[in-house]
A = this chain, B = another copy of it.
């Protein structure tokens, strides 16, 4: 499945999210048309995307929602719970540490770090902020592969280097800067100003 274009992979979490919402509402089956209306993607595109991975729907009867959820979870490897760490406990780090939307989607925050002596030792929910001084050792020993990076832009690359050294393979980067990582490490960026600027072009 390595040859599947990244843009298709990027749409699968959107489908999964919409299906989970349908399931919460008590729905049992759906069609590519109905799913398409929910996510703003054409029915033909959805059928094509999903068919890359197998035959999960039936002509005429559509998709069984819970079955398709199960399959998408397997494909995206969120049929398990990934332990995550947050590095950088500013406002965004705090918001993410308390975010309720991870647990039924394959993730849980298990460790939180900062380098500020005044923050270290403080509790955020059930977690205690740990010193990031020996970050690589702690992350490596815990076997954590997924990290949310919420440090200032000036610190992002240095911390990313430590995460790579610790064996981290997926970084969700909230720092407003690009970071360089080896090819076997994935990075996704969340920067509200970048998303906003992408829209103002059209205004």
Contact = CB atoms under 8 A, between A and B. Distances in A.
Nearest to A200: B77
Interface in A38-89: 38-40, 75-78, 82, 84
Given A170-B203, A178-B14, A178-B18, A78 B195 contact: no
Interface of A: 9-10, 12-14, 16-18, 21, 37-40, 75-78, 82, 84, 91-92, 94-96, 98-99, 101-102, 105-107, 145-146, 148, 153, 169-170, 172, 176-178, 180, 186-188, 190-203
Nearest to A18: B178
Nearest to A8: B201
Copies of this chain present in the complex amount to 2
Nearest to A73: B197
Contacts of A176: 17, 101
Given A169-B203, A191-B17, A76 B12 contact: no
A202 B180 contact: no
A106 B203 CA distance: 13
